[in-house]
Chain A
Amino acid sequence: MSAFTMEDLFRIMRECAGEEEAVDLSSAAAEQEFSVLGYDSLALMEAISRVERGFGVELPEDTLGEALTPAAFVDAVNAALAGRTPAVEAAG
């Protein structure tokens, strides 16, 4: 499984939660907080579940809860992907 990229995250955010009119989801947005980008907790829940389905990984809620920016979110997903064991994948 390839790593999870910023482009993957932005594509998923657009698909599942749209994009604020005044916001441009580009590399400049990576370090901005989700709340500034117009995404609330439900939008993040939606994104988390899409990532879990698309990348075959379980994302612990408390880890993601601390990811306030897209960059932190991508890091957390990649950490989960790296730590994934085949047993967890099969159980998931």
Chain B
Amino acid sequence: MTATAVVTGVGVLAPNGIGAQEYWSATLRGESGIGRITHFDPSRYPSRLAGEVTGFSVRDHIPSRLVPQTDRTTQFALAGSDWALADCGLTADSLPADARGVVTASASGGFEFGQRELGHLWGKDPKHVSAYMSFAWFYAVNSGQVSIRHDLRGPTGVVVTDQAGGLDAVAQARRRIRGGTPLMLTGGMDASLCPYGLAAQISAGILSDSEDPTRAYLPFDAAADGHVPGEGGAMLTLEDARRARERGARSYGEISGYAATFDPRPGSGRPANLERAVRGALADAGLRPDDIAFVLADGAGEPESDRVEAQALTAVFGPEGVPVTVPKTMTGRLYSGAAPLDLVTALFALRDGVVPPTVHVDRPATGYAIDLVTGSPRPVDGDAALVLARGRGGFNSAMVVRRPSVA
């Protein structure tokens, strides 16, 4: 029988809360972390809002030896990994180093670090470029630094599929658990709220230019007009369920189904493939649509993408067939960090029997026929939830999580 992968530890950094419990409490209260960018002066940019993580003390969480060689993105990944490992209750030496691995998602790498050092290169000369530029801005840097810090010498890697990567990385970690690795750290963190990172997102033409934090990111709303970028994400520990049970570990739940699809090229006239990802994830989990208590949607906040997602959901679940929510409306889109954070949200929502709302959306677009949870949290009863994540360039990923089989 194939090994079951369960989530035994979580570490969260989100714009509306640092730490899993703080994030979850704020999310149930509907507290948004979106505001005008403070990390740098955004006045010269057409989009000036973001979900910033506030109050993260580098000095308190990152060893001084690592500070000069890490971007904020990596500092988040290191802190989140520390917390997830502490949460799962395994000590550093309880498993051999090659029995533990790490797979993260990355959408940008260490952009702020890269921007600063490229500034040195062209503004001064090559001698002023940090030696750590050789890795600090790479996509793979979070997996690398986490691997070194915790001596994770098992399977290691990075997945780069924009926002879908958050699920793709967790799926890859699950594959490694099934292959016999006892412990995998996984998830994603992005923190590219620097001029270069913002310019890159603006050039894609999908950021909102609203100045009103309550009107800028409105997925599935009639007024949807782009999204707000955010920073942060979540790291998770995945373990073989049998081993976790044997050591008496607490399980938040199981990663029970996954599928990924790719969209046809724009203009081809062929339909998007999100529905196929949803059906694939359900089939992989051995569940029917009726078994899903709620859906955490990708919620692009862009009319065409919202329409495609609503169509996929109504095709599988029927019109208004399942509660759908987008807690990202409180954080902005976190790129590779978004879906791991949604997985934490889904597991906590199953545990507590309550789904957080999609905030700020007060006029859902007509014709979508989805049951969007707005206003306040909604009680739910069920064992399984679906998380969707879509990445620019055509990536569709769907993941099913289930409550722990023995509470």
User: Which residues from chain A sit less than 8 Å from chain B, CB to CB?
Assistant: 14-21, 38, 42-43, 45-46, 49, 52-53
Partner of B131, one of A18, A45, A53: A45
Judging by beta carbons under 8 Å apart, are A17 and B68 in contact?
Answer: yes
From known contacts A46-B132, A49-B127, infer whether A17 and B69 are also in contact, taking CB-CB under 8 Å. Answer: yes
Could you show 5 A-B contacts with beta carbons less than 8 Å apart? A16-B68, A18-B68, A18-B69, A19-B64, A19-B65
* B268 contacts partner chain A, Cβ-Cβ < 8 Å: no
Docked complex Cα distance between A71 and B36 (Å): 50
With both chains docked as a complex, state the minimum distance between the C-beta of B182 and any C-beta of chain A, in angstroms: 28
Question: Does B96 make an interface contact (CB < 8 A)?
Answer: no
B27-68 at interface with A (beta carbon < 8 Å): 63-68
Q: Which applies to chain A's interface (DSSP): helix, strand, loop or mixed?
A: helix
Determine the interface band of chain B, counting residues with CB < 8 A from chain A: 10 to 19
Give the complex CA separation of A21 and B59 in angstroms. 12
Q: Is the CB of B130 closer than 8 A to any CB of chain A? A: yes
In the complex, how many angstroms separate the beta carbon of A32 from the nearest chain B beta carbon?
Answer: 15
Number of A-B residue pairs at CB separation under 8 A = 38
A52 and B124 CA atoms in complex are apart in Å by: 14
B116 within 8 A of A: no
- From B129, which residue of chain A is reached at the shortest CB distance? A49
A44 to chain B, nearest CB (A): 9
CB–CB B65/A20 < 8 A: yes
CA distance A14 to B68 in the complex (A): 9
B65, B127, B130, B134: the one contacting A18 at CB < 8 Å is B65
Inside 8 A of B127's CB, which chain A residues have their CB? 49, 52-53
- Given A16-B68, A17-B69, A18-B68, A46 and B131 contact (CB-CB distance below 8 Å): yes
Contact B134 A17, beta carbon cutoff 8 Å: no
Bound form: Cα–Cα A20–B65 in Å: 5
Residues in B neighbouring A45, C-beta threshold 8 A = 131
Which of B63, B68, B128, B131 is the most central at the interface, judged by chain A CB atoms within 10 Å of its CB? B131
Q: A18-B68, A20-B63 are in contact. List 10 more A-B contacts (CB 8 A).
A: A18-B66, A18-B69, A21-B64, A42-B69, A42-B134, A43-B131, A49-B127, A52-B127, A53-B127, A53-B128
